[in-house]
Amino acid sequence: MSTNISKQKREDLLNKIKEIRAFISAAPQDENTGNLLSYLSDLEKDVNGKKYGLVFEEHREEIDDVLDTHTPVLTEEKDLFIDNGGQMNFLIEGDNLAALKLLEKTHKGKIDLIYIDPPYNRGKTDFVYDDDFVVNEDTFKHSKWVSFMKVRLEVAKHLLTETGLVFISIDDNEVAALKLLCDEVFGADFFINLFIWQRNSSAKTEKGKFTVNTEYVLLYSKGSAYTLNSAYKPLSEASQKLFKFDDNDGRGKYQTVSLQKPRDPGPETTYDYVDNMGKIWPCPPKGWRMKYEKIKGLENDNRLVLSGKSLRVKDYWNERENEGKRIDTLWNDLPQNTAGSGELEAIMGKSNTFDNPKPTDLIKRCLEIGNRNGCVLDFFAGSGTTGHAVMKLNAKDSGNRKFILCTNNENNICRDVTYERIKRVIDKENYEASLKYYKVDYVPIDEQMYYEYADELLKHIRELVELENGINFIGNAEIGIVLTEEELEAFVSNTDAFSKCKKLYMGHDLLPTQAQEKALKAQGIEISIIPDYYYKDLQER
């Protein structure tokens, strides 16, 4: 019988706390003794806390302090608007935690698929934490990374639909920590798979180590209702050639697989097989691969080949093709990492604009598993590969996916690389896709009442309405937005604009006059009330 040593230590510590509490309770009571008893209760809670999972030193970031005293808002870079029909997509420049907080207002429970390629924390120059690179010598290297990821994944979970999926690229440095973190955030029951991607074929070996030429893609679901659409990947051409027999039974071509394999014979594998015609097939020297009942079932299903002195199983290609949606765990048929750099260089017309961009086909593989008409989010957008992959796959399979990309603008990456790549790809391939470019800004809210900054927030409602509904108000006569009584009056009075409008977004607290209501109804304009939840949390502070 095993002994739980941790439990014994925990109980010993709780007994000591109990003794201290008894001693303090017997002493004269004052404010200090009351505080000490309160501290002991906190210690008890901590001792009785989580006993399994990821343990790390929690860290705060500078953005945490900013969000304590400010609320993020969006402003549009109107000159960067790309209008090429199709779905309206969005690129958000700024700290991705602030961007995620804004998406909580517009897309809670609405994102179908998330793909992210976060910093791998290699201890070099890939992970910046509060303006400093996290290096190998940092004793809190892993804790900082887990703290950084946890807060973002917790928001990401809120954004996913109940059937939503999240894919995360990672390498050996943090794959173990990420798996435990995702078990905690999404739930271990919602882990689907850990894919292995062969990122290169280099035989170069680091000093004192084995060759490492793979990375991973971790897949979790939001809930149990997910479906893996278009996840089936056909066998390679070489594998298909193995199915070279066809008996025209409507089940397709087949290959034969021996029922024998080298093994030490056991009691369940040493029988003589009697087929349906009464013939006895003696047990081979090394035993059968399957139990008697299994082989009998194969024969009854006309899948047993009885010839010469051997039994073989028909393995049908059509059955493989139709056995359900299945995903290969090893992704060694995809382009390697250098392909991503080559793609970006070809698009941008120069090299070294971004380190280690992922190839579009890697992300396409993830997108093929998800909803063909879903909303895709990447909040570590980098060079914009996810946006490129969405448009590329839509063109291939007539999907109706749309994307939201979030990235900071360190070294002007968002403006000069992410945006520029999407723009050039749309122009070159003439993809039916449009893009709006937003920047995260901040409105101070500390030491102020809501009414003191409410007017400032009102200036940024339009962007949230566009983001939530995937629309564009700029130069679009068919939709309008009014947030104040003055704007409503001006809209109704503008004969030209009024006659062309088909849908009007109206602030939730606006009350049209009878004359205005009559005019709107007569014109047949659809009214959509803008929800009050964008900044409701601030009103309740």
pLDDT tens, position by position, 95-130: 999 999 999 999 999 999 999 999 998 887 778 876
Mark out the alpha helices in 27-119 (DSSP H runs): 31-47, 62-69, 96-106
Task: Name which of 78-87, 154-163, 254-263 the model is least confident about.
Answer: 254-263
- In this predicted structure, what is the pLDDT of residue 319? 64
> Using CA atoms, how far apart are residues 146 and 328, in angstroms rounded to an integer?
29
What DSSP designation does 415 have? I
> Using CA atoms, how far apart are residues 191 and 399, in angstroms rounded to an integer?
26
- The helix/strand/coil state of 359 is coil
- In this predicted structure, what is the pLDDT of residue 103? 98
Mean pLDDT of the chain: 87
> Model's pTM, two decimal places?
0.79
Task: Name which of 312-316, 392-396, 526-530 the model is least confident about.
Answer: 312-316
Of 441, 353, 375, 421, nearest to 95 by C-alpha is: 441
- Decide if pLDDT at 58 tops 80: yes
59 close to 140: Cβ distance less than 8 angstroms = yes
pLDDT tens, position by position, 287-312: 888 888 888 888 888 888 887 777 88
Paired with 423 in beta bridges are none
Amino acid at 313: V
Comparison of pLDDT for 219 and 452, the residue scoring more: 219
Confidence of residue 3 (pLDDT cuts 50, 70, 90): low
Confidence of residue 352 (pLDDT cuts 50, 70, 90): confident
Quote the radius of gyration of the chain (alpha carbons, Å). 31
Cβ neighbors of 519 (< 8 A, separation 6 or more) are: 492, 498
* For the ranges 17-21, 132-136, 175-179, 226-230, the one whose mean pLDDT is highest: 175-179
- The helix/strand/coil state of 288 is strand
Confidence of residue 244 (pLDDT cuts 50, 70, 90): confident
- Helices 5-26 and 31-47, interaxial angle, to 10°? 170
- In this predicted structure, what is the pLDDT of residue 265? 63
The rounded percent of the chain whose pLDDT value lies above 90 is 49
- Decide if pLDDT at 186 tops 70: yes
Task: Name which of 203-217, 376-390, 482-496 the model is least confident about.
Answer: 203-217
Confidence of residue 384 (pLDDT cuts 50, 70, 90): very high
Mark out the alpha helices in 160-206 (DSSP H runs): 175-182
Comparison of pLDDT for 136 and 463, the residue scoring more: 463
Of 341, 438, 432, 334, nearest to 382 by C-alpha is: 341
Confidence of residue 323 (pLDDT cuts 50, 70, 90): very low
- Decide if pLDDT at 475 tops 70: yes
- In this predicted structure, what is the pLDDT of residue 425? 96
- In this predicted structure, what is the pLDDT of residue 49? 75
Query: Residue 470 burial by CB count (10 A; 0-12/13-18/19+): exposed, middle or buried?
Result: middle
| Residue keyed to tokens 């509060």 | 130
CA distance to 34, 88, 169, 452, 539, per residue, from 462 (Å): 52, 15, 34, 20, 19
- Decide if pLDDT at 137 tops 90: no
293 close to 348: Cβ distance less than 8 angstroms = no
Cβ neighbors of 489 (< 8 A, separation 6 or more) are: 516
Query: Residue 93 burial by CB count (10 A; 0-12/13-18/19+): exposed, middle or buried?
Result: buried
Paired with 115 in beta bridges are 167
Amino acid at 226: Y
